[in-house]
Copies of this chain bind each other. A is one copy, B any other.
Amino acid sequence: MRTTAQNAELALLLEVAGTPKPGNVDRHREYEDLRFEHFLAGAVGARAGLEMAAAGDPLGESFLATIEGMSEQRGGNTQFGALLLQLPLVAAAGDENRSLSPEGATAVVDATTVADAADFYRAFEAVDVAVDDPPEGMEPLDVRRGSDAVPELESRGLTLRDVMERSTDRDGVAREWVEGFERVFAAADAVEQGEGPVADRAARAFLELLADEVDTFVATKHDRATAESTSERARAALDGEIDPETLADEFVAEGINPGTTADIVAAGLFVALERGLDV
């Protein structure tokens, strides 16, 4: 039987293998500076931190270790959001007093500390992550400041949950953290109920999630209107109005990468594997 950390790593690999996954790197499409093989190396490198989280180490320390390990390749940020989303789930699955459920993962989130928040900020020093400018008044807590922001975090006494709560309006990963991982568990259900190769089911779940709700990474990188039209086009692909393969080529050409939706699929795959999904 695979361990919890192995399932988390395998989920990252299955996520990137799923194709067509319009706009993201998958096993048929990649960017010159962000390639399929960077995701393979990112997943392998993250494993030690995943093992820490499963063993009950502090969430922030474990996350920092996943990101440092993930970064040992030349593609830059491959799975920052996916790992951030997986970690409370991995910690819940690894804790015999908790369960891998919305409640179990939320209990992990609720138990995060200021130290966890500090390590989360430190993780931004290991890799470049595309983020929006912070809202007015939040500049001292701009994640791009990395460890320079730690004194501010400490003086305000903000836990990692507190930090995530402040981003729910513009970050789909933060929203999952604070609102019970609803879409992650929906993705797990979709993968479990699907048929055929697991990577194909993951690609289908991706399209469904994207059609259902705007991708906040697209909104950050482009704008809200682009994110909305991205979801409409995903809906058209689901409805058979456009071939998903064609849509994938279009999104790649337009630089539209619905990365947050991919993060949710990666976390959903982890949940499904832990619940016994066969590969």
Does A153 count as interface, using CB distance less than 8 angstroms? Answer: no
Contacts of A210 in B (CB 8 A): none
Q: What's the Cα separation between A14 and B39 when bound, in Å? A: 11
- CB of A279 within 8 A of CB of B13, answer no
Q: Which residue of B lies closest to A72 (CB)?
A: B2
Contacts of A37 in B (CB 8 A): 14, 17, 197-199, 279
Contacts of A175 in B (CB 8 A): none
How many residues of chain A are within 8 Å of chain B by beta carbon? 28
- CB of A278 within 8 A of CB of B74, answer yes
Q: How far apart are A86's CB and chain B's nearest CB, in angstroms?
A: 14
Q: How far apart are A95's CB and chain B's nearest CB, in angstroms?
A: 21
- CB of B17 within 8 A of CB of A36, answer yes
Does A27 count as interface, using CB distance less than 8 angstroms? Answer: yes
- CB of A36 within 8 A of CB of B2, answer no
Does A41 count as interface, using CB distance less than 8 angstroms? Answer: yes
Q: Which residue of B lies closest to A73 (CB)?
A: B279
Binary CB contact string for chain A from 9 to 32 against chain B (1 if under 8 A, 0 otherwise): 110011001000000000110000
What 14 new A-B contacts, CB under 8 Å, besides A6-B44, A17-B40? Answer: A1-B72, A2-B44, A2-B69, A6-B47, A9-B44, A13-B13, A13-B44, A14-B37, A35-B197, A36-B199, A37-B197, A37-B199, A37-B279, A74-B278
List 7 tightest A-B contacts by C-beta distance, closest first. A27-B27, A13-B40, A41-B279, A10-B44, A73-B279, A37-B199, A6-B44
A-B contact pairs, 24 of them (CB 8 A): A1-B72, A2-B41, A2-B44, A2-B69, A2-B72, A6-B44, A6-B45, A6-B47, A9-B44, A10-B40, A10-B44, A13-B13, A13-B40, A13-B44, A17-B27, A17-B37, A27-B28, A27-B36, A35-B199, A36-B199, A37-B199, A47-B47, A73-B278, A74-B278
